[in-house]
Structure 1
Amino acid sequence: MNRRRPRRASDSARSRQTSQATSRGGRGQLRLIGGEFRRRKLPIPDSPGLRPTPDRVRETLFNWLAFDIAGRQVLDLYAGTGALGLEALSRGAARATFVESTVPVAKVLEANVATLGAAGDVVGIPVERFLATTPSRFDLVFLDPPFRQGLAAKACLDLELGGWLASDAVIYVETEHELVWSPPASWQLHREIVAGDSHGRLFRRQPDAG
């Protein structure tokens, strides 16, 4: 497993951890930062606990993923604003499935996918229920659950054991910085970044390693 020191985002990135630029009506905006939809601004709902991945972290993550996006099937769990899945679609992913159970958030996300004309589906059920359904294979998975609810480890295990991952899948997991947990044995740590309260880890699946 790669033990390189986690990259640490700037203070300006941390300040965006819980908010984006404010617009009228108490809503914020999500700005896409690369690809076909670069600089497009999309509304995001004012919802408790909604925590968009900051621009700086997204930029770093998608630099890491530069050759792992085009033509890929993407799964965005606990999607929230859909920032990660939408960014992947902007950069050439074939299709994205967003799983978000909070109804107002899911509705805005669905509208944003339609506005972009992107190939995406929004599934409005809890992640646990979704991962208990008949699996499809995904090449790229984003997992950013609400912090301090003990959700990350189980979701990772369900992804691995439930047949949701392509043999060479890439998985990004974002958790609270203090959480200690172990990924499935076949997931090899590739890169990581610390930004304020969050710790993002990028894994590459290597089944033979498990």
Structure 2
Amino acid sequence: MRIVAGKFRGKALNSPSDDSIRPTADRVRESMFNILASRLGPVLDGVRVLDLFAGTGALGLEALSRGAAHVTFVEIGAEGRGLIRDHVEAFGAGGITKLLRRDATDLGTPGTFGQFNLVFLDPPYGQGLGEKALAGLRDGGWLAPGATLVFEESVDAEVVVPPGFTLDDRREYGAAAVYFLRFGA
């Protein structure tokens, strides 16, 4: 696994030790960011990113590489948090990132974290965790008006988008389906 584009292009990402963390493949990540570039512009200047169920942190790090102003990673697993810490240190991104050990489906309110313009959700497949996290983001006030959300789920899972979100697009990549959502617009 590597960062696909931007200032960290080509930097290697450490892989998890087992299948409990399922990183988004480089090819899928590249496609996701190409779609985002057509919607948000080729550079993510000033964008505040929230990476839920962050795993290795690949999605948030890719956003940083492409100019995001800040990324907050949310990961409950010890191995995932360790991988994210190692990547943030290796990329020299400590000043523009935060790492939270929280349940992504029960974040509460953002407090001093503020609102986010771009959110990635890559939960364990087929458990309804993404929809629960979306509702929590909406109800907790984590999302800026018009925020873009990218939600990865199993292609076989039935996804019900909660009220307050608009489904803009859905793409399939092998076993993964990627949903592009808009909040409150």
Q: What TM-score comes out, normalization by structure 1 length?
A: 0.79
SS at match of 2:64: helix
Structure 1 residue 203: deviation in Å? Answer: 1.1
Query: What are the within-5 Å matches in structure 2 for residues 63-82 of structure 1?
Result: 63-66=34-37, 67=40, 69-82=44-57
For 2:110 and 2:56, the matched residues in 1 are separated by 25
Query: What are the within-5 Å matches in structure 2 for residues 159-170 of structure 1?
Result: 159-170=137-148
Query: What are the within-5 Å matches in structure 2 for residues 10-29 of structure 1?
Result: none
Q: Does 1:204 align with 2:182?
A: yes
Of 63, 77, 100, the match for 1:123? 100
Structure 1 residue 59: deviation in Å? Answer: 1.0
Aligned pair in 2 of structure 1 residues 186, 125: CA closer, same or farther (>3 Å)?
A: closer
**AA of the residue aligned to 2:57:** G
Residue range with higher mean Cα deviation, 116-125 or 71-80: 116-125
Query: Aligned residue for 1:40?
Result: 11
Query: Aligned residue for 2:73?
Result: 98
For 1:42 and 1:179, the matched residues in 2 are separated by 28
Structure 1 residue 96: deviation in Å? Answer: 0.2
Query: Aligned residue for 2:62?
Result: 87
Unaligned runs of 5+ in 2: none
Of 28, 33, 44, the match for 1:62? 33
SS at match of 1:105: helix
Of 95, 105, 108, the match for 1:132? 108
Structure 1 residue 173: deviation in Å? Answer: 0.5
Of 154, 169, 173, the match for 1:195? 173
For 1:189 and 1:57, the matched residues in 2 are separated by 19
CA-to-aligned-CA distance 1:81-122 (integer Å, 9 cap, x gap) = 111100000000000000111112201211111110122111
For 2:169 and 2:104, the matched residues in 1 are separated by 25
Of 184, 189, 194, the match for 2:162? 184
Structure with bigger RCO (C-alpha 8 Å, 6+ apart): 1
What RMSD over aligned residues (CA atoms) do the two structures have, in Å? 1.6
CA-to-aligned-CA distance 1:157-207 (integer Å, 9 cap, x gap) = 111121110001000011111222321333222222111221101112234
SS at match of 2:89: helix
Query: Aligned residue for 2:132?
Result: 154
Contact 1:44–1:105 under 8 Å retained in 2 = no
**Would you say how many aligned residue pairs link Structure 1 and Structure 2?**
177
Contact 1:53–1:83 under 8 Å retained in 2 = yes
For 2:137 and 2:36, the matched residues in 1 are separated by 20
Structure 1 residue 133: deviation in Å? Answer: 4.0
Q: Does 1:171 align with 2:149?
A: yes
**AA of the residue aligned to 1:198:** A
**AA of the residue aligned to 1:113:** V
Residue range with higher mean Cα deviation, 177-186 or 106-115: 177-186
SS at match of 1:172: strand
